């Protein structure tokens, strides 16, 4: 267990050291030069993703709860 933890910590430290140079060339990443407008729209996209994720998960949970309640009622009725 100690060996695994030491290896994990070493790997994470290596990632922290190499992260700045990972996908950048002369300070430019995949998106090229970024402006405030680009960053703002990206953040709006992230917010929209999480709003849609929460709504979809809530709808799925509601459907599963109705199904569970229906099954419970059927079991009580048949027992």
For 8-56, the pLDDT digits (tens) are: 999 999 888 877 666 666 767 677 788 899 899 999 999 999 999 999 9
Q: Per the domain annotation, does 58 fall within a domain? A: yes
Q: Note the residue count of the chain.
A: 79
Q: pTM of this prediction?
A: 0.58
Which structural domain range is residue 55 located in? 34-79
Q: Per the domain annotation, does 42 fall within a domain? A: yes
Q: Per the domain annotation, does 22 fall within a domain? A: no
Q: Are 30 and 23 in contact (CB under 8 A)?
A: yes
**What is the number of domains present in the chain?**
1
Q: Per the domain annotation, does 20 fall within a domain? A: no
Q: Per the domain annotation, does 8 fall within a domain? A: no
What is the token pair recorded at 26? Answer: 């002369």
Q: Per the domain annotation, does 16 fall within a domain? A: no
């Amino acid at each position: 267990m100690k060996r695994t933890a030491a290896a994990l910590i070493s790997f994470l430290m290596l990632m922290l050291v190499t992260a700045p140079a990972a996908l950048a060339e002369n300070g430019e990443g995949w998106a090229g030069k970024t402006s405030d407008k680009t960053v703002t729209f990206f953040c709006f996209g992230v917010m929209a993703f999480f709003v849609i994720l929460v709504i979809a998960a809530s709808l799925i949970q509601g459907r599963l709860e109705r199904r569970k309640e229906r099954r419970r009622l059927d079991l009580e009725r048949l027992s």
